[in-house]
Amino acid sequence: MDILALNCGSSSVKYQLFDWKKREIIAKGMVERVTIGDSFIIHEVPGRETYREEYECPDHKVAIHLIIKTLSDSKYGVVSDMNQISAVGHRVVHGGEKFTCSVRISEEVLDAIKDVQHLAPLHNPPNISGIEAAQAVLPDVPHIAIFDTAFHQTMPEYAYTYPLPHEWYEKYGVRRYGFHGTSHLYVSKRAAVLLGKASKDCNLITMHIGNGVSHSAIKGGISVDTSMGLTPLEGAVMGTRCGDIDPAIPMFIQQQENLSAKEIDSILNKKSGILGITGQYTDRRDVIEGAENGGCPRCQLALDIEGYRLKKYIGSYLAATGKLDAVVFTAGVGEMGWKIREIALEGLEHLGIILDKEVNRNTMTRKRESVITTPESPIKVFVIPTNEELVFTEDVVAILEGTYTDHMKYPYTFASSDFQL
């Protein structure tokens, strides 16, 4: 049984083709810089040299077609017939309150996903494009939706309820949902293995830092709070999203600039965050280069702001979890951005986090799980490459086989000490 997992982010599409019977990856890769220019695909097949192709992807449909073309390419591909694929798992960011677990996609399910796309304007539209593009290429296989929001459904009512008129929740479902659930699930299970403890005995702070950024406070192995809210706009500083701000600012600027609500929403989601601060960059690699060369003071400011906001979330979530076992950095920036990790962790010795700066600076890989604190540090800090696609794959197989349960009880393979990256 070969399962294709597709993860359409706001500016990237990750994919993984997995042979479930052999428990091995057939191929995996990523299309980067989708919609922002200079896009390319990185295609990895075990035992072969990594293949890279520059290919302009103005939207996610083009990116999906590029992935299919690459998988079936006579020279670089791994399948001679797309019918070898038994099912496709799709990341879907927002399921509202309708979806609290992974489900098989029907016409009704897809319509329901479209109904809440306004709650995740950067993500649900590309998720939907990915589903429709994949269904067009593979119309006869099951397609499964895996929702970012599912992992955070364990939050207590006082954590997910906003201090707003309660009828807004009752009528419109206005509450904290949380996102990047599959990533937080995966790295929290892996952190438990590294700690030599059962997941239910672990208190963690997981920090998913990519173009989108979210953090989760995990107490006793389950999410009790998370930084993103009703939409993925709330929380940390992100590539193009502002995160936490004074809620009066949008109304103030709307009046000053005579902007519509739609224009304000677009600015907060697509022109703020790192892009808003620097005026030109969303990719942290560009920001770090600009800061190191000294030619872009606002790049250094962006790094300082992001690092400071990360530091504050660690402190607040430490209060939420109680005695903490570990902090986990993951996703593109979390795994590769040593500079941002250093800014976030400096000065936290009094909390029990003692960073090994040299080890941290040498930890820039998406292929190895690392500890970047000293042996004496009471709280460990891990850098764990996320593998959302494996979560998708296991959920898909479980649904097809009728063994699927919630994430707290299902025996994921990566939650075992025998699991190999």
Query: Which residues are known catalytic residues?
Result: 148
Q: Is 99 exposed, middle or buried (0-12, 13-18, 19+ CB in 10 A)?
A: buried
Least Cα distance to 180 among 44, 378, 14, 57 occurs for 14
Q: How far apart are the first and last CA of the chain?
A: 20
Buried b / exposed e over 109-130, threshold 16 CB at 10 Å, is bbebbeebbebbbbbbbbbbbb
**C-alpha distances in angstroms, 397 versus 19, 50, 222, 404?**
11, 28, 23, 8
Q: Say how far apart CA 97 and CA 150 lie, in whole Å.
A: 10
Buried b / exposed e over 49-86, threshold 16 CB at 10 Å, is eebeeeeebeebbbbbbbbbebbbeeebbbbeeeebbb
Query: Kind and range of the H or E element at 209?
Result: strand 203-209
Beginning with the edge strand found earlier in the chain, give each strand of the sheet holding 380-383 in spatial order.
222-226, 213-219, 203-209, 326-330, 380-383, 370-371
Extended strands (E) in 126-175: 143-147
- DSSP state letters, 281-294: --SHHHHHHHHHTT
